[in-house]
Amino acid sequence: MAGRKATVQRDTLETRIEVSVDLDGDGSGRFDTGVPFLEHMLDQVARHGLIDLTVEAKGDLHIDAHHTVEDIGITLGQAFAQAVGDKKGIRRYGHAYVPLDEALSRVVIDFSGRAGLEYHADFPRARIGEFDVDLLQEFLQGFANHARVTLHVDALRGNNAHHIAETIFKALGRAMRMALEADARMQGKTPSTKGSL
């Protein structure tokens, strides 16, 4: 399972994104996206997932952040799909509950090879600073589709929008960490009754 790294570049008429991941890192993050709140969320994933993560993005922010945020999710998903490889020896499933003061979220992830997102989060306001909270779902949908993971996100409680978002992304990092860990009893084996993922 050594060398689980990938770098992916995505260029469209709307954005130019480059993402590098090391699934066996120490939680280092470097971000230059023009979307500070998303960078704060990505830093939670890196730190809590012990994933080294670099994201550079140039997008049409003069319109809004939608294309940039969604395309970062897509590119991050592609990088994860490459880095995780054939998935032999991993736990495959991961879950985490994370509180932050009054907020509590649960994230469950399956590196199944099948894309799917169940997203249930109600925010008390539409924006966190300049960031549109609807874009969190767009980011996660792009990630799930291109990482080919099944992802369940449930914000269970909270009345502070920043806290709710932060618990989601911390829990995402923790769930990823669990799912991507080596399972000593599954060395060289694919964690599926089908024999492939």
CATH number at residue 67: 3.30.230.40
Task: In whole angstroms, give the CA distance from residue 142 to residue 154.
Answer: 17
Residue 130's domain comprises 5-186
- Whether 194 has a pLDDT exceeding 80, the answer reads no
Mean pLDDT of the chain: 96
Residues above pLDDT 90, as percent of the chain: 91
Provide mean pLDDT across the span 3-8. Answer: 95
Residues with Cβ within 8 Å of residue 197, at least 6 apart in sequence: 86, 87, 92, 111, 112, 113, 190, 191
Q: What is the pTM of this model?
A: 0.95
The reply to whether 192 falls in a domain is: no
Is 193 a member of any domain?
A: no
Per-residue confidence (pLDDT) for residue 77, from 0 to 100: 98
Whole-number pLDDT of residue 28: 98
Q: How far apart, in whole angstroms, are the C-alpha atoms of residue 22 and residue 5?
A: 4
Predicted confidence (pLDDT) at residue 1 exceeds the cutoff of 70: no
User: What whole-number percentage of the chain has pLDDT above 70?
Assistant: 99
The 8-class DSSP code of residue 117 comes to: E
- Residue 24 located in a structural domain: yes
- Does some domain include residue 121? yes
Is 195 a member of any domain?
no
The verdict on residue 52 lying in a domain is yes
Please write the tens of the pLDDT for every residue from 110-149.
Answer: 999 999 999 999 999 999 999 999 999 999 999 999 999 9
pLDDT in tens, 72-99: 999 999 999 999 999 999 999 999 999 9
Going by pLDDT thresholds of 50, 70 and 90, the confidence category of residue 196 is: confident
In a domain, 23, yes or no: yes
Domain count, the chain: 1
- Give per-residue burial for 153-179: e unless 16+ CB within 10 Å, then b: bbbeebebbbbbbbbbbbbbbbbbbbb
Buried b (16+ CB within 10 A) or exposed e, 50-85: bbbbbbbbebeeeeebbbbbbbbbbbbbbbbbebbe
Q: Are 130 and 161 in contact (CB under 8 A)?
A: no
